[in-house]
Amino acid sequence: MMLVAIVLAVFYPGIFGEFCSSDDIPMVSSLLNMNDWSLKSLFVPKSGGGLYYRPLLYVTFIVDRFAWFLSSSFMHLENILFHLVNSLLVYFLTRALLPEDKKDDSYLPLIASLCFGLHPITTEPANWISARPDLMAGTFVLISACCLVTYKACHKKRLLIASLIAFLMAMLCKEVALAFVIGAGFILFSRNEPYSPPSIHASHLKKLMTFFLIFSLFVGTVLAFIFLRSLAFTNNSSKIARTLTFIFNDPDYSLLFCLRSLGFYVKKIFYPFPLNFTIIDIDPLYEIVAVPVILATVYAGLKRSVVSAVYLSGIFLITPSFLIAFNQIAWTPYAERYIYIATAFVIVSVVVSAAPLLGRIKSKTCVFVGIACLLITMTVATFQRNLIWQSNVKLFKDTVEKSPGFNKAWNEYGVALAKKGDIEGAKAQFRKAASLYSFEYDDVSRLNLAFLKLKEGDEEGAVKGYLKVVEESKGNSSAAYRYLVSYYETKHRDARSDAEKFQTLEKLVKYNDKLYALTKEPFILYNNGRHLMFAGNKPQALEYLRRAYNVFPDGDEYKGYAQKLVSRLEKE
């Protein structure tokens, strides 16, 4: 109860937080536009290519949509409750690692769960609704680990079955959970006595066969997940292919890159500062930090205790983040949320391992004061970070101060200021974003600048801004064409003279054609056909509507609408 009260007290500011403009708002918009859904469409969408397969996560968003109509407070509260549950699971995992005679009177489970529950690195997934997959996957991975550790002690089959089911559910929340299969193997292969070379006789062979049999069940669970994913997606996202190509083209550099990431993330677990939403680069010296981490990992593997197996689980749960570090998949190569699950396992193993060392200190008061100071420091840092996450302005102001070279963060800061009415401040941030070097042409900040001009009534300046983006992107900015189409649709609708209607329609059709050449969206052809039909240009309208009918997929409602309009025009 103390743990519940403290965690809720520290994280309660998150309930009053805004939707984060990065991912949260687009996700909410897509859910608002959802008319119907089915479990089959969530678990087996049968789409062409895909990156994320997280059906259990989408189920929670469906509940948010229809239970409380995407209330930000309820959605933030869900995240906080998931984190609270994970803190409680850390308590029970720590307790499961203790000897039977120490389970009831040890403070280690409370210390470990408080260290995790109050860890500053947990603020990002707890406050960012789009990071819910990390929380949910953490819940099921920790359940799986608790069941597996307890199974090692009592060998009850129902615990093993529960562990396998929880493991599968974790992968259905976030793909990185499959890395726990390695940790599960170490837990199964662990023993509590000191390491010694096994002698070959019947009992050891039987244990070895049992290990391979049970471990094969975990591998089979991973294969079951891969099979479900293959039913959902006929092929993987091109982002995955680009990442693998990058790795295989230069394996030596990729290895050093992974070592650097490992050193950085382990350091983050023990010293998380500075906290940053967008980490775009890290010091190469973290490769040196990775060396003692690898030595500790090898030692833990040789020791073969259950506690060392839990530590190894945490280390291997960091490894999926190495793929993201190559900056081909996510919008930021490094993030605190990527090690949320790993942090729980590392904390449990460190607290249990450090207990004998702390027990040798004669002054128990010193130990108590030291632990209390650590927890108070974590509490203050986490609470302050939760306050920053309440507001997009505060969050992205903090982000650009810590990652001044990241143009996307400056753009998000500008968007946040614009929504608060600080137009001049927003313009300054958009200009800053546009001025920063980027491997790819950044049309977002430039389009936002043009949009602000339009909002201020400077229509000519806005159009010039959109056309400048078209020019600078060499005609490859579909967003610029969409803005131009939207602008001329409004102008055409509000036109008062035939000459103005003709001019705006000409521009509208022209930019829709450019947009269709980039996107191949059939609705664009349909849209052009409708506008031309209402303008009385029946021959050209008929041409566009026929093309739209031919490219709309079977079963699309607009294919039927296009057919009706074609029939109507042909009769006329």
Of the two residues 71 and 323, the one the predictor is more confident about is 71
DSSP letters along 10-51, please?
Answer: HHGGGGGPPPPTTTHHHHHHHHHT-----HHHHH---EEEES
Which value, in Å, is the radius of gyration of the alpha carbons in the chain?
28
Reply yes or no on whether the pLDDT at 245 is more than 80: no
- 337 within 8 A of 128, measured Cβ to Cβ: yes
| Residue range 526-546: mean pLDDT, rounded | 92
| pLDDT at site 198 | 43
**Pairwise CA distance, residues 23 & 21, whole Å:** 6
**Pairwise CA distance, residues 322 & 48, whole Å:** 26
Q: What are phi and psi of 49, to 5 degrees?
A: -125, 155
| Residue range 43-68: mean pLDDT, rounded | 85
Question: What is residue 508's three-state secondary structure?
Answer: helix
**pLDDT tens column, 263-307:** 999 999 999 999 999 998 899 999 999 999 999 999 999 998 999
Listed residue (64, 63, 59) closest to 39, CA to CA? 59
| pLDDT at site 175 | 92
**pLDDT tens column, 109-144:** 999 999 999 999 999 999 999 999 999 999 999 999
| Residue range 75-86: mean pLDDT, rounded | 98
Tokens (6 digits) for 429: 């941030």
What length is written for the chain? Answer: 572
- 276 within 8 A of 399, measured Cβ to Cβ: yes
Instruction: Return the number of other C-beta atoms located less than 10 Å from residue 1's C-beta.
Output: 5
570: pLDDT confidence band, cut at 50, 70 and 90?
Answer: confident
CA dihedral 64, 67, 68, 74 (to 10 degrees): -50
**pLDDT tens column, 500-523:** 999 999 999 999 999 999 999 999
| Residue range 205-226: mean pLDDT, rounded | 90
Burial letters 29-39, b for 16+ CB under 10 A, else e? eebeeeeeeee
236: pLDDT confidence band, cut at 50, 70 and 90?
Answer: low
Listed residue (178, 149, 189) closest to 341, CA to CA? 178
Reply yes or no on whether the pLDDT at 244 is more than 70: no
| pLDDT at site 243 | 64
Cα separation values, 217 from 53, 167, 187, Å: 22, 11, 14
| pLDDT at site 98 | 92
Label residue 327 left, alpha or beta by phi (over 0 means left) and psi (-120 to 50 means alpha): left
Roughly how many angstroms between the first and final C-alpha of the chain, as a whole number? 76
- 566 within 8 A of 542, measured Cβ to Cβ: yes
Q: Is the dihedral of CA 212, 218, 224, 225 positive or negative?
A: negative
Reply yes or no on whether the pLDDT at 195 is more than 50: no
**Pairwise CA distance, residues 262 & 288, whole Å:** 10
Label residue 304 left, alpha or beta by phi (over 0 means left) and psi (-120 to 50 means alpha): left
- 14 within 8 A of 126, measured Cβ to Cβ: yes
441: pLDDT confidence band, cut at 50, 70 and 90?
Answer: confident
**DSSP element (H, E) containing 160:** helix 157-171
Q: Could you check whether the bond before residue 274 is cis, i.e. omega within 30 degrees of 0?
A: yes
Cα separation values, 171 from 129, 253, 317, Å: 18, 29, 12
235: pLDDT confidence band, cut at 50, 70 and 90?
Answer: low
Q: What are phi and psi of 233, to 5 degrees?
A: -120, 130
Sequence letter at residue 135 = L
Query: For the whole model, what pTM was predicted?
Result: 0.89
User: What average pLDDT is seen over the chain?
Assistant: 90
Cα separation values, 341 from 140, 317, 318, 320, Å: 10, 7, 8, 11
Of the two residues 332 and 396, the one the predictor is more confident about is 396
Beta bridge partners of 50: 236
239: pLDDT confidence band, cut at 50, 70 and 90?
Answer: low
- 444 within 8 A of 426, measured Cβ to Cβ: no
194: pLDDT confidence band, cut at 50, 70 and 90?
Answer: very low
Tokens (6 digits) for 58: 């989408």
**pLDDT tens column, 478-490:** 999 999 999 999 9
**Pairwise CA distance, residues 527 & 545, whole Å:** 9
| Residue range 60-71: mean pLDDT, rounded | 92
